Structure 1
């Protein structure tokens, strides 16, 4: 039953039988058969089917809530027994917004030193993707904005207040400015994160508050791409101060505070609210509370 529920959760997340089967490491007929067996056991249709996946039935939506709870509880039980038997070990999946990737070692480095049998996988994702992955049990910990979009049923631990700065090459004319207004920054050739990123939506909002709209010359979902273009001296970017200082380019770029408005946004660790949570997730949440 647990395996079938996990297949169902993955199908609901991927919304495609083929991709869900690939994610689960099984063939599509195996996954389809497992979903059919689950429907037979429960006595309800869970998935609207035609020639392809067409969404969950109302009963399927309700079963999805139960499936997440049951699979999550089963994982918690297994991890708790493993921790009782041999100490904290296992694998942690972390998803972070691009501007917060540099914060992760502040958590993982001391944690791994204390718990050497724990391994990590880390991926960059949008804030909405992170919340969806947490809900679908596809990731364990997220690092994202805490205040701009509804978090729902999450435990949240603040890490930093992002303060936005204009980032230019040291050779740029703006490099020696003590500060710059958002309206003024809008006239520069900007390279920014893509519009599906919450960071970009925040920048757009502050530009709107300054009475301007922006049309970036370049967009990317990679911070490295933005930095390498800034270093040419032909582009400028807008980034949180922590990110601008943490990607190894500090000596080659200048960061200028953005004013009018002066804005900051809370970024922190989020995890699905469960009682109890898995030992690994609980320990990482506690570790995040100790980050300085």
Structure 2
């Protein structure tokens, strides 16, 4: 999904020689400021941010949360897990400045838990590398 969303919509060609595409991981505040000051032409963010109301938005997808655990982990055979159960595990979470992290933290809090992170990143690929390393050889 990420690859299809991050492919440049316009590639520099003879038809568009000055077209430039830059991808950046920004906080909600940075996105809001970039759009307001016309430093950004477009952005991907959550639609529930009231401060972005003047911007035109449309949903690209719906999120679903999945817990990845080692095959011999404490929740490996569980078909589902509560947020409080997941909070007891060593987790790789996005940085607290990221909107998705704040959403996840609210889910933990609603289940009476606080996540104890082992590491944090500002982008999902960093978490993916850590998950692969933690899982060991395939």
- Mark yes or no: TM-score above 0.5: yes
**Unmatched runs of 5 consecutive residues or more in structure 2:** none
Matching residue of 1:155: 56
Mapping 1:224-239, distance limit 5 Å:
224-233=125-134
CA RMSD, 1 decimal: 2.7
The structure with the larger Rg is 1
State the shift of 1:184 in Å.
Answer: 0.8
Q: Is the 8 A contact 1:168 1:231 kept in 2?
A: no
State the shift of 1:215 in Å.
Answer: 2.4
State the shift of 1:149 in Å.
Answer: 4.7
The structure with the largest helix share of the pair is 1
Mapping 1:1-292, distance limit 5 Å:
101-105=2-6, 108=8, 112=11, 117=16, 118-169=19-70, 171-173=71-73, 174-233=75-134
The structure with the largest strand share of the pair is 1
Q: Is the 8 A contact 2:89 2:116 kept in 1?
A: no
**Unmatched runs of 5 consecutive residues or more in structure 1:** 1-99, 235-251, 253-292
Higher relative contact order (CA 8 A, sep 6+): 1
Q: Is the 8 A contact 1:101 1:124 kept in 2?
A: no
3-state SS, counterpart of residue 218 of structure 1: strand
TM-score, normalized by length of structure 1?
0.40
